[in-house]
Structure 1
Amino acid sequence: MKAVQLDQFGIKNLKVKEIAKPSPKRGEVLVRIKAVSLNYLDVLLTSGNFYKGLPNLPYIPVSDGAGVIEALGEEVSGWKVGDRVAVQYVQNWTRGDFQKEYNIRVAWQTQGVLAEYVCLPQYGIVKAPDNLSFEEISTLPIAAVTAWHALINQANLHVGQTVLTQGTGGGFHFCIAIG
């Protein structure tokens, strides 16, 4: 399968490579990636300028993606081949308010999704809405969840309140859509 990979940091070092197609292990699903979206985080990780630590090389970049489940590992429940899914950015955050310990499996600690196929834990994906394209779905994980967390979980925004936003990126657009 094809994947974009870094053997050393720097955007000029991105290379399309032929690598082995992964097979899902126990509790994992194999997702055929249909679309990805880029975030500033991806630029920082690719360039080697991320302040929280860098991924191990070789590294497949890009955090946000959407696709279709192609295979299930042993003991996977709640998913079936053909399900449309989005990749969760913080894969351990499966419900409720954000907790610090959820940060143990995030983009800079795992391989990214700029590949034809990726294996992910069954809890590291969410069902994708049928009414959105894969391109639209791929924009939701980081920007939309960040905006939701900021407005609803942290600011405790309620119907009828006004929010002043500033910016031009994806998070800004989702703040407008949510607010």
Structure 2
Amino acid sequence: MKSYRLVPGHGLAGLTVQDRDEPEPGRGQVVVRMRANSIGFRDLMVLADNYPLPITPGVVPGCEGVGEVVAIGQDVGRVKAGDRVAAAVFPRWHDGPFRRDNAAQLGTMIDGVLTEYAVLSEDGVVHIPEHLSYEEAATLPLAAVTAWNALTAGGAPRPGSTVLTLGSGAVSLFTLRFAKLAGARVIVTTSSAAKAERLRALGADEVINYRESPQWWQDVRALTDDLGAERVVDPSGPLEQSLKSVAVSGEVALVGRWLSGAEGAMPLDPAVLFGAGAVLRRVATGSRAHFTELNRAVAAHRVRPVIDRVFPFDEVPDAFRYVQPGGGFGKVVISHD
């Protein structure tokens, strides 16, 4: 089989393809013939060794992958050969709060899924919705789980409440879709009129162009009669503007992208945090339980994700080059077919 390997800190020059023997499952493990992956900003951070978690030299990169179970080890009971499954980004985080002892992440600390065959713990996979293709399902493990956690772990949005999500990246697109399913009013920020039009087509009630309105928190206040949004999902920053946009006793769900040195990583005035009168909750993707819950919602409502572009497995470096400039709309997917 062919498997990508990574030397962290060398960018694309540290990404190689190696031939390995097809793996055999151990006790409690399954072998998954990978059918599709997706990649994004997180993977660029891993390539650059600019990621909060340690990266094992020679690791198989990629944390988002789906495929078919082709072999099972002893004592496996959750899945069987032929099942369509997705890998959980944190295979040891089954439920409950995130802890250090379940922080092992695919594609950084342990081997990931940019490979033709992956050995995974049976406890680290979930079944994927039947109506989705492998390429569509590959968009779920990171961005969709993150959006679901951001929206629901602090209490799901109520019908008629206001949700603000920043930017038109994959997390925000899933946040928009899930919040609309809950009956919320959704405000989205974006950088262009073309993206604004696509966001409205997906159901956004209001779209703010942050290039035209740099102090966009004022627009949020105006659109909410100065009350603010009950839930803010912040994958991009600036965090200060998110805190100025949130309603008193609301919540800001802080997704990890700002840690990379993006605009939102600027120092924060403690007075702004105190004055917001809201909860600030960091979101580290989500657990297997979050993934299972969102799959039920995706299946029940026949949700289909937004895919920007699909690359074949042997063109993964080209896919990374495509992701680097940003500016896409939807997930970039790797197909093994």
TM-score (norm 1): 0.91
Report 1:80-119 matches (<5 A): 80-95=80-95, 97-101=96-100, 103-107=102-106, 108-119=108-119
Root-mean-square deviation (CA, aligned residues, Å) is 1.6
Q: Using the TM superposition, give the Cα deviation of residue 8 of structure 1 relative to its aligned residue in structure 2, in angstroms.
A: 5.1
Q: 1 or 2 for the larger relative contact order (CA 8 Å, sep ≥6)?
A: 1
CA–CA distance in structure 2, aligned partners of residues 128 and 161 of structure 1: 30
Partner of 1:58: 58
On the 8 A contact 1:90/1:102 being kept in 2, the answer is no
Report 1:91-170 matches (<5 A): 91-95=91-95, 97-101=96-100, 103-107=102-106, 108-154=108-154, 156-170=156-170
AA at the equivalent of 2:72: L
CA–CA distance in structure 1, aligned partners of residues 154 and 134 of structure 2: 29
CA–CA distance in structure 2, aligned partners of residues 103 and 62 of structure 1: 18
CA–CA distance in structure 1, aligned partners of residues 136 and 28 of structure 2: 27
On the 8 A contact 2:91/2:105 being kept in 1, the answer is yes
AA at the equivalent of 1:68: E
Larger radius of gyration: 2
Secondary structure of the 2:173 match is: helix
Q: Unaligned 5+ residue runs, structure 2?
A: 180-337
Structure 1 residue 25 corresponds to structure 2 residue 26: yes
CA–CA distance in structure 2, aligned partners of residues 137 and 172 of structure 1: 17
CA–CA distance in structure 1, aligned partners of residues 43 and 8 of structure 2: 15
Cα deviation digits, residues 143-176 of structure 1 (max 9, x gap):
1111111111035422332201111211010000
Partner of 1:16: 17
AA at the equivalent of 1:16: V
CA–CA distance in structure 1, aligned partners of residues 118 and 41 of structure 2: 21
CA–CA distance in structure 1, aligned partners of residues 101 and 157 of structure 2: 23
**Higher mean C-alpha deviation, range 122-131 or range 1-10:** 1-10
Q: Using the TM superposition, give the Cα deviation of residue 22 of structure 1 relative to its aligned residue in structure 2, in angstroms.
A: 1.5
Q: Unaligned 5+ residue runs, structure 1?
A: none
CA change 1:125–1:102 in 2 (3 A) is farther
Q: Using the TM superposition, give the Cα deviation of residue 39 of structure 1 relative to its aligned residue in structure 2, in angstroms.
A: 2.5
Secondary structure of the 1:131 match is: coil
**Higher mean C-alpha deviation, range 75-84 or range 3-12:** 3-12
AA at the equivalent of 2:105: V
CA–CA distance in structure 1, aligned partners of residues 153 and 174 of structure 2: 15
Secondary structure of the 2:163 match is: coil
Q: Using the TM superposition, give the Cα deviation of residue 6 of structure 1 relative to its aligned residue in structure 2, in angstroms.
A: 1.9
Q: Using the TM superposition, give the Cα deviation of residue 101 of structure 1 relative to its aligned residue in structure 2, in angstroms.
A: 4.4
Which of the pair is proportionally richer in helix? 2
CA change 1:158–1:90 in 2 (3 A) is farther
CA–CA distance in structure 2, aligned partners of residues 27 and 106 of structure 1: 18
Secondary structure of the 2:153 match is: helix
**Higher mean C-alpha deviation, range 12-21 or range 83-92:** 12-21
On the 8 A contact 2:32/2:68 being kept in 1, the answer is yes
Amino-acid identity (%):
36
Partner of 1:73: 73
Cα deviation digits, residues 110-139 of structure 1 (max 9, x gap):
111000000000010000111001111111
CA–CA distance in structure 2, aligned partners of residues 163 and 84 of structure 1: 33
On the 8 A contact 2:4/2:15 being kept in 1, the answer is yes
Q: Using the TM superposition, give the Cα deviation of residue 86 of structure 1 relative to its aligned residue in structure 2, in angstroms.
A: 0.7
CA change 1:46–1:161 in 2 (3 A) is same
